[in-house]
Amino acid sequence: MSYEIWIMIVASLVGITCGVIGCFLILRKLAMLADAISHTVLLGIVLAFLISQSMNGLYMLIGAAVVGLFTAMLIQFLNHKGIQEDASIGVVFTFFFAIGVILITVFADSVHLDVDHALMGEIAFVPFDMVEIAFLPPLPKAFIMLMSILILNIILMMLFYKELKITSFDPALAAAIGMPVMFIHYLLMGMVSVSTVASFDSVGAILVVAMLIAPGASAYLLTNKLSHMLCLSAFFGVLAAISGYYVATWIDSSISGSMAMMSGVLFALVFIFSPTKGLLGKKINQKRFRTRTNAT
Amino acid sequence: MTNPIEIKKLTVAYDKTAVLKDIQFSVPKGSLTAIIGPNGAGKSTLIKAILGLIPKVSGDIKIYGKPYRAKDRLVGYVPQRGSVDWDFPTSALDVVLMGRYGHIGWFKRPGKEDMALAKESLKKVGMDAYANRQISQLSGGQQQRVFLARALVQDAQVYFMDEPFVGVDAATEKAIIQLLTDLKDQGKTVIVVHHDLQTVEEYFDHCILLNKEVIASGVTEEVFTLEQLHQTYGGKLAFLDKGKVMVEQTR
């Protein structure tokens, strides 16, 4: 397949993987935790490399999941001990991220990673990093990684759908009827961590936050049903990815940057034009209501 | 026969300050009990501690003679309406179905039977016409009814309700009372955190007066006296004509 198509496929996979999982973050008011985890996975990746001495994706996923979960736990712990949640998030993730940055610069000679790449990603290189597995034709490494994580996420979400839903909506009731609230919380954090790592090679640690939050935030404004929100969010993720790619080639600039920008543009459009919850929609509804009440 | 709820020497603390001290009471089967006390008396905390939602420092909690376990499915819970986000993308019917989640088991979805139960219980609270309505489009009273319908499908023996009467319209208040009486008639036990002192005698046959410790508990006629209320509320009681009492609301 051609170079361009692979980039668009990988970008779309980032959009779907992040978009779907991001919905739960929004509904649980954990968007800032996504920001934290997306940064601290850098430390996980560096540690995984230093310990295993290889750039194997599996080790990276494990490293990221461990550090991501540890981040979530530490934030929870500090918060529980009376530190405000946003303050705990701010302290924990900058600290871990800083350690990651220091490790990269100290071991710069041996690590095939640089801070720029970690922050911004480089999706344009994705088609050059092909691997062959078993009988399959050569596939980009990023594609295999994202596809596996997406499938894993979908399976977990299907298995734990009702648990995810009730712990997001009413954690007190969930706990009272014996749902494992903390387990589900950390399961979700683990899913966010591995999704971030899988995406990070392509879009980088900072822009992955845009892909996690913006599509879900847009979908939230358009629907009243959780399952629809998940699907719509995936759709917005793909839309941002594809349109971002074309914008990038058109103005000859960073693809990941354009993707993140387009997810913001799409959100702005939905925010204004959503029929029920958008700015215009609300205005029109008010006007209709007024004319109706005036008429009677 | 063992009482549905038996609490002995329960103490709960946040950090080092005790919010509930040496709580001791029991509630007989088929009773409607109100927990009454000023703001910050630990009424919601008491319910949460009984349900194991917050840790206790010491004490003994027995539901039908056994420590509380969610999987026994003896207990239904109605949290405060303000404790959840009503903008959540879900419908009234869906929220009621959540009451069945504890019965369904891992990896399974609600089935036809659960759906039928949920619809039936929405009907009981007069909300069947709103089953597919998004929950943010319901009024406060309607939202409270959805919460009650959700408790009904839990099909429990003991119900804990945290301020179900706050911010509801008169029709909903009536519907709730009807529901509580129905539950009582079925031999279920209901404990309600209650604010409105004027309706206590009318609605509840048992009372627990709480202010960090139990001031009094038992049959309403014996417990709900001016003297005891004074002790519970300190100086915050105001009097109305005809010997009626009300609390100076701080919220």
The more confidently predicted of residues A45 and A18 is A18
The ipTM, to two decimals, is 0.89
pLDDT at residue number B250: 45
Helix (H, G, I), strand (E, B) or coil at A139: strand
Residue A269 domain-assigned (yes or no): no
B185: tokens are 């008639």
pLDDT at residue number B231: 87
Range scoring the smallest mean pLDDT among A107-116, A165-174, A196-205, B106-115? A107-116
Residue A195 domain-assigned (yes or no): yes
Q: Do B102 and A27 touch (CB under 8 A)?
A: no
Mean pLDDT for the stretch of residues B42-60: 92
Query: Testing the interface with B: which of A224, A226, A230, A277 to mutate, by most B Cβ within 10 A?
Result: A224
pLDDT at residue number A290: 77
Residue A246 domain-assigned (yes or no): no
pLDDT at residue number B245: 58
DSSP string, A185-223: HHHHHHHHHHHHHHHHHHHHHHHHHHHHHHHHHHHHTT-
A227-233 contact pairs (CB < 8 A, 24+): A228/B89, A229/A23, A229/B89, A230/A20, A230/A23, A230/A157, A233/A19, A233/A20, A233/A22, A233/A23
pLDDT band at B66 (very low <50, low <70, confident <90, very high): confident
Residue B14 domain-assigned (yes or no): yes
pLDDT at residue number B239: 57
Mean pLDDT for the stretch of residues B34-41: 91
Residue A288 domain-assigned (yes or no): no
Residue A196 domain-assigned (yes or no): yes
Does the pLDDT value for residue A126 go beyond 70? yes
Does the pLDDT value for residue A69 go beyond 60? yes
Please give the helix or strand (H or E) that residue A131 lies within, else none: strand A130-131
CA atoms within 13 A on the CB side of A154: 10
Q: Do A225 and B109 touch (CB under 8 A)?
A: no
pLDDT band at A197 (very low <50, low <70, confident <90, very high): confident
Task: Report d(CA A94, CA A37) in Å as an integer.
Answer: 10
Residue B222 domain-assigned (yes or no): yes
| Beta-carbon contacts below 8 Å between A and B | 78
Residue B174 domain-assigned (yes or no): no
* Chain A residue with Cα closest to B47: A176
pLDDT at residue number A295: 61
Residue B238 domain-assigned (yes or no): yes
CATH number, domain with residue A58: 1.10.3470.10
Q: For residue B9, give its domain range.
A: 1-74+158-169+189-251
pLDDT at residue number B205: 94
pLDDT at residue number A23: 97
DSSP string, chain B: ---SEEEEEEEEEETTEEEEEEEEEEE-TT-EEEEE--TTSSHHHHHHHHTTSS--SEEEEEETTB---GGG--EEEE--GGGS-TTSS-BHHHHHHHTTHHHH-TT----HHHHHHHHHHHHHTT-GGGTTSBGGGS-HHHHHHHHHHHHHHT--SEEEEESTTTT--HHHHHHHHHHHHHHHHTT-EEEEE---HHHHHHH-SEEEEEESEEEEEEEHHHH--HHHHHHHHTT-EEE-GGG-EEE----
Give B-chain residues touching A231 at CB under 8 angstroms: none
State the nearest Cα–Cα gap between A165 and chain B, in angstroms.
9
pLDDT per residue over B156-189, tens digit each?
999 999 999 998 999 899 989 999 999 999 999 9
Task: Report d(CA B189, CA B203) in Å as an integer.
Answer: 14
Please count the structural domains in chain A: 1
A185: tokens are 């919380």
Q: Do B53 and A172 touch (CB under 8 A)?
A: yes
Q: Do A173 and B69 touch (CB under 8 A)?
A: no
Task: Report d(CA A69, CA A63) in Å as an integer.
Answer: 10
Residue A201 domain-assigned (yes or no): yes
pLDDT band at B1 (very low <50, low <70, confident <90, very high): low
B123: tokens are 């009907």
Contact, A237 vs A219, CB < 8 A?
Answer: no
Range scoring the smallest mean pLDDT among A142-146, B120-124, B233-237? B233-237
How buried is residue B132: exposed, middle or buried, by Cβ count under 10 Å (0-12/13-18/19+)?
exposed
pLDDT band at B31 (very low <50, low <70, confident <90, very high): very high
Mean pLDDT for the stretch of residues B207-222: 93
In whole numbers, what is the pLDDT of chain A averaged over residues?
A: 89
Does the pLDDT value for residue B251 go beyond 50? no
Q: Strand pairing partners for B192? A: B34, B161
Does the pLDDT value for residue B118 go beyond 60? yes
Q: For residue A162, give its domain range.
A: 3-210
Please count the structural domains in chain B: 1
pLDDT at residue number A296: 54
pLDDT at residue number B159: 95
How big is chain B, counted in residues?
Answer: 251
Residue A178 domain-assigned (yes or no): yes
Residue B100 domain-assigned (yes or no): no
For residue B143, give the amino acid letter.
Q
Contact, A197 vs A64, CB < 8 A?
Answer: yes
Give B-chain residues touching A228 at CB under 8 angstroms: 89
Instruction: Count the neighbouring beta carbons within 10 Å of the beta carbon of residue A233.
Output: 30
* Residue in B51, B90, B102 nearest the CB of A226: B90
Residue A108 domain-assigned (yes or no): yes
Q: Nearest to residue A28, comparing CAs of A184, A227, A211, A208?
A: A184
Does the pLDDT value for residue B240 go beyond 50? no
Instruction: Count the neighbouring beta carbons within 10 Å of the beta carbon of residue A2.
Output: 8
pLDDT band at A134 (very low <50, low <70, confident <90, very high): confident
Give A-chain residues touching B92 at CB under 8 angstroms: none
Q: Give percent above pLDDT 90 in chain B.
A: 67
CATH number, domain with residue B48: 3.40.50.300
For residues A10-47, one letter each, b for 16 or more C-beta atoms within 10 angstroms of the residue's C-beta and e for the rest, the string is: bbbbbbbbbbbbbbbbbbbebbbbbbbbbbbbbbbbbb
Mean pLDDT for the stretch of residues A31-40: 90
* Residue in B79, B95, B110 nearest the CB of A172: B79
